[in-house]
Structure 1
């Protein structure tokens, strides 16, 4: 391994140590360990450190073809320590600002979307419902009024006919009127019996099922 390769390896490991510190703080900030179940934290930790290990190996593979030396570990620790002592507070402040900015931007987008999309659509829907409801009520009242008008007109027009029929009915002999009365009464009773039989058969069929 040449000196230039060793120098690049040292710089890469120092940078990787800083990156691990940044990643660890970011990961801890978003994970919120106190609010998560222990098994979820454990699984996330395993994947996090597995990713860090693979990334570190990839960096080594690109810089010195994956050769590992003791000073590489020392450089990694130096980079992590440098981040903890010099950059951590500044990075956490920047991270919090970025989070607040993203949350504010998200809320602003929601408000704009609510103002420009949700409220107009909701208002238009309510207006259409009100128009349709009013139209249905108006048509129903109009139909009722027309029915009353037609019924009243027919009642007035048919009044003379009814009077004439009543007068003619009085001219019919009492025996004939009694005959037709009894006939229609028997027919009505027969129809009721048939309906009762059909109803009983339907009930029995339902019980058998």
Structure 2
């Protein structure tokens, strides 16, 4: 490698060491190891280190076509140490401020959507349901009124025919049907009592 390429590679690795320190703190901030299961932490750590290694190698490939030298590892360590000593506190404060800003924006968007979208649609939905229920109750009342009128008309129209039938039908026939109705009613009542007794009997046997 030429001297300029070595110099650019050295600067790139120092920068990648600092970037690695920042991404490691960011990763630790969002991972929350104490609240995660071990296998989830293991998989996340594995994926994190794989991405970091691939990213460092990609930058190294862009700078010097992927030639690895021992001093490049030292440059990575120097960049990481410089971040820990000089930039870590500042970066963590900026990270927390950014997180709080994103949370505030998310809450603002949620409240705006709740007030401008959810509440109007909910009010419209309740209004439509209230109108439907009102119309249904109105139709039900109308049906009841029509049915009462129809019953009154039927009784009024057929009342002369019923009166004529009462005059035409012999008294013996009326007595026969009345007795038949009483007999059927008595038979049904006795059958009902027998069924109830049988049910009670089987329930006691259990």
TM-score by length of 1: 0.79
Deviates more, 1:90-99 or 1:157-166: 157-166
- Residue aligning to 1:207: none
Structure 1 runs (4+) greater than 4 angstroms displaced: none
- Residue aligning to 2:133: 133
- Residue aligning to 1:195: none
Give the Å deviation of 1:122: 1.2
- Residue aligning to 1:19: 19
The 1-side partners of 2:64 and 2:102 are apart by 39
Could you list the runs of 5+ residues in structure 2 that have no partner in the other structure?
185-206
The 2-side partners of 1:100 and 1:77 are apart by 31
Aligned residues between the structures:
182
Could you list the runs of 5+ residues in structure 1 that have no partner in the other structure?
189-209
The 2-side partners of 1:95 and 1:40 are apart by 24
Once the two structures are superposed, the pairs formed by residues 23-42 of structure 1 within 5 Å of their partners are 23-42=23-42
The 2-side partners of 1:134 and 1:60 are apart by 74
The 2-side partners of 1:9 and 1:173 are apart by 124
> RMSD across aligned C-alpha pairs, in angstroms?
2.3
Render the CA deviation track for 1:11-38: whole Å, top value 9, x for unaligned.
0011010010011011111111111111
Cα distance change on mapping 1:173 and 1:106 into 2, 3 Å: closer
Give the Å deviation of 1:181: 5.2
Once the two structures are superposed, the pairs formed by residues 106-185 of structure 1 within 5 Å of their partners are 106-169=106-169, 172=170, 174=172, 177=173
The 1-side partners of 2:84 and 2:171 are apart by 121
